[in-house]
Structure 1
Amino acid sequence: MGGEGDSGYQLNFPDAPKLELDELIDQLVSRAESVRRAQGRLRNLLRATQSVSGDLSLERILRRIIESARELVGSRYAALGVIGNDHHLEQFIYVGIDDQSATKIGHLPEGKGLLGALISDPRPIRLDRMSDDPRSAGFPADHPPMESFLGVPIRIRDEVYGNLYLTDSVNGRFSAEDEELLSALASAAGTAINNARLYREAQQEHRWSEASAEVQAQLLSSTGEDPLRTIARRAIDVSGSDLVTVSLVDPTDEAVMVEAAFGQGAEDLLGRRFPLNETIASQVIESGEPLLLDNPLAGGPLPIANLALIMDAGPLIVVPLRDEERTRGALTLIRRRGRTGFTDADVRMASGFAAHASVALQLADAREFAEQMVMLEERDRIARDLHDHVIQELFSVGLGLESIAGHLEGSPDVARRIIGKVDEIDRAIRRIRTSIFTLQGGLISTPGEALRNRILQIAGEVTPLLGFAPAVSFTGLVDSVVDASLLDDVIACVRESLTNVRRHAHASSVSIDVQLKGTKLTIRVADDGIGMPKDPERRSGVANLATRAEKRGGSLRITSRDGGGTLLEWTASVNGRS
């Protein structure tokens, strides 16, 4: 035994309990660190949720969602794709790629490869390497390289609104925890998007209601803007469309005429007439039901003929303009390709606007009919006075002058001058007869007078577009032309001629002379405009008129007038080929 103070004596403890204690302390520290880290990420999730829920502007909310998602899970790139009605991406909002790089990449994704996989099967996708997945379609030229991928759907109730896409985790790979956090954010984002959509729809509903009130007030007013122009103007203001047209079915029920148009290409469409069966409006007019399309140029009939030449059309809505008995026309709203598509709510609101406009049109028609009856009665009285008094007196004067000319055998020059004045009186009588028919036109409905009545009707339709009224005259028994197909050819000739005058001639006057001599019918349309273009861009309408004339044994001739202007002369045989 050693004595007290023996320095060689030491206390020794077993090593095993000490190691277990160190491990427990390390585990506690690690778990505490995990809890702290999880608490921090939950705080980040809460902040992200508050960020996307604190606004009612849909555009700002979508931008905040992808920015919050990128920050929440730590990724270099983030994007949000909005799914359209055609199950492709109609919007693709991104962060992490600068504008210069985006320009080099080119068009935005349409929803193929991995992006499309998430659309067709809306369940989260998490990959360490995108290139290892067989669904990956690769990247276009100038696209930055990307490795890890995480995608989750954004749902609004049972509807998949879009998807969140994140690539290149700053940690090298996305974890299961990242997926859970992003799914939670997507759920909150769906609620925020739904609230923003409801708010937008409420605002939009209010704007459509204001537009309906303005249209009804204008339709019931006797002055101011043309009601159809008001309908088109207010529709393009409210709907955010790039082109709006109002088309009405013509009296034959075989064609539609664009009565009002606003937006891109409106000038090329205004006042034009298109066969009903060549437009998608026929489907709406026949069914009376609205139509929503995401890509009208994908094939099949177009909503408006020549639309592909006017604009790169994207989403569109066609809604009917109905009265109690039939569909009288259609309102068409069009956006350019690449813009946000219309929704079912847009269709519903546009249909409500069109219904209000249709009711107002009926009221305006009833008021106009009552006013026309009063006016026509007065016109009928004036027409009788012209026929019974003015024309008879002119006949008497003409006969008297012819008699005088017959007694001037020694003065042939004077006789010729008198006969010339007699011819002028005859032309004046023909114009007065045309005026009489114009005054009585609304009261006459005999089949034989269809040609005269239709030509006068067309002249009246284009008067607001020309800025002046065409002068119309008839020579011969034109009322005897009752062949329906010939009538269509004549109407096409007059309408195409006046349309060309409006679009190209810059004229201040135009005359239409219709003459039937024997079996030969001649239409002459003369204007005082700038003359024919040396290299006209579009000759399809003129070529069509030439074909119509040749099929009827006639011809088409377009010449420049002395002193300026253009003369179109179209001839046909009333008995078919001559």
Structure 2
Amino acid sequence: MNEIVQAVTYAVKAGEVREVLHRIAQAARSLVGASYAALGVPDGDGGLLYFTHVGLSEEQTAQIPHPPQGRGLLGAIMTERKSIRLNDMALDARSSGFPPGHPPMSSFLGVPIQVGDQLFGMLYLTDRVDGQPFDEYDEWLIETIAGYAALAIAGVRLHEQQSRIQLFEERERISMALHDGIIQDLYAIGMHLELLRSQPDIQPADLNPAMEALNNVIDDIRAYILDLRTSSYEKRTVYECMDDMVRRLGLYRELDVSLDVPHAQPPLSPVTFEALCQIVHEGLSNVARHAEAQHVRIRCWHQGGRYFVVVEDDGIGFDPQNEASEHGMGLRNIRQRARLHGGEVRITSTPGVGTLLRISMPALSVNG
């Protein structure tokens, strides 16, 4: 039993499904003393999603036109969900024979890898090296390995599923970062260049602000790829972040901007502070692109374990419930980003009067 545990523990350390399967097949072949061992994972449609084998040389493998397709004895294991032990598999009616080029094999021992009613795979071996048929002890040994293997495969599958979820979340993070930050900055640069193009006498120096802004965007793209943005929020004050956003969006040139915000670091974690700034950035971008406002005011304060930011403009307003509008994706990103960090967003807008964006994020306690 100790050998079984050691073998399966070694297999689980692989961390990737294909390598785990290969190591389990190696362990089974070694413990029983079989000439050949293989492990297949069904795809749910009667075929095999994964298949690995040990015991055949590269030359022998090259002679076989295709791997098993989940029929014959393998199909019987999948459907019957019980072990099959044969002295001569050619005499069994369930056997479908071998494809051309496959080396001859005689005795067979196959077991399902399952937990309850869930089938994870089939482990099978052929021809003991000592020439003896597989016995009851061999069957018990492989069934025991299969039990451990089921848990190992389930664990690795869960890990891969979590990795896929993390990858999806990372894609979402980058997507929101692109829309809420970089794309809005590029839009502001574009508006500035359009304004310059309409002027009769453009001097090279007039392009310097746009060039500087483009360099900032390039730095941001690099930081997002390397996931370094959060660290930059550890030392910045609220005023520095808000002022930087207003400048990069070109709002100082277009609007009367009022910043009623502290010249101090907020009581927020760097990750939460970054999320808050991205939300404000999206809100300010909407003001620049759609509001047709004359004035915008940003206020920040800390109260009752929450940190509040209000962005208010006197523009034309819109319907916050209409996600099909030009504001739609930005509003979804704002709300989603706030929820991911325990925050809340309220948007009040009145046609002809203006829009108020109110953000509330959880603040750090006094003790950190």
TM-score, reference length from structure 1: 0.32
Look at both structures and tell me which one has the larger radius of gyration over its CA atoms: 1
